[in-house]
Amino acid sequence: MATVVYKVGDDISTDVIYPGRYMATVLPTETPQFAFADDAAFNGRLRAKQIPPGSVVVGGRNFGCGSSREQAVSCLKGHELVVVAPDFARIFLQNGINLGLHMVTCPTIEAEEGDELDIAADAVANRRTGKRFAVVPLPRSRQAIIDAGGLIPFTRRRLLAGG
């Protein structure tokens, strides 16, 4: 069971998730402080550690569109947030898989802040409404990377195997 702590609309760009003016900060250990920095209330709760790990951000369509900045993934990963959205923009999705961000593609998701969700491999269930929403598996091209625990261990393994 996971609680929805934040809900956003369609076409949320990486500029909204991680504003450009913090792009000089690159290390995954340092980026979480600037997650959703332009929303002082939510960012404040994150910084104050009021959001438990495993909490859910519900996005709209095309979540993570725009810039390829990986900080937009590492800042969410740092807080161990789960992102449930109808679909994700390409680069964000790949960055998320590469870094091991928990993302759930759920085309029909209906949930509000405060709702409690049961997230399984095939469906997301909303305890408040009793509704279940089917989950679309991540692209098969990326499954091996997920299974390896991210792109860094995956690439390391390939290197050791001689490319």
Contacts of residue 37, defined as CB under 8 A and 6 or more positions apart, other chains included, come to 18, 19, 22, 43
Kindly indicate which of the ranges 46-54, 65-73, 106-114, 122-130 contains the residues binding other proteins, using the contact rule CB under 8 A: 65-73
Contact call for residues 71 and 31 (beta carbons, < 8 A): yes
Structure token digits, residue 68 = 């390829």
Taking CB under 8 A as the rule, does residue 136 contact other proteins?
A: no
Taking CB under 8 A as the rule, does residue 77 contact other proteins?
A: no
Q: Give the sign of the dihedral formed by CA 62, CA 9, CA 64, CA 69.
A: positive
The residues pairing with 3 across neighbouring beta strands, listed in sequence order, are 116
Among 55, 98, 105, 126, which residue sits at the site for other proteins (rule: CB under 8 A)? 98
How many whole angstroms separate alpha carbon 64 and alpha carbon 151?
A: 19
Tell me whether residue 40 or residue 48 sits nearer to other proteins (CB atom): 40
Among 7, 80, 115, 154, which residue sits at the site for other proteins (rule: CB under 8 A)? 154
Q: Count interface residues toward other proteins (CB under 8 A).
A: 46
Task: Give me the 15-44 binding string for other proteins, x by CB under 8 A, dash otherwise.
Answer: xx--xxx-xxxxx----------x------
* Short-list 15, 148, 7, CA closest to 89: 15
Taking CB under 8 A as the rule, does residue 119 contact other proteins?
A: no
Residue 2 backbone phi and psi in degrees, to 5: -140, 145
Structure token digits, residue 46 = 């994150």
Contact call for residues 81 and 57 (beta carbons, < 8 A): yes
Kindly indicate which of the ranges 12-20, 48-56, 102-110, 123-131 contains the residues binding other proteins, using the contact rule CB under 8 A: 12-20
Residue numbers at the binding site for other proteins (CB under 8 A): 11, 13, 15-16, 19-21, 23-27, 38, 61-62, 65-70, 73, 87, 89-91, 94-95, 98-99, 139-142, 144-145, 150-152, 154-156, 158-160, 163
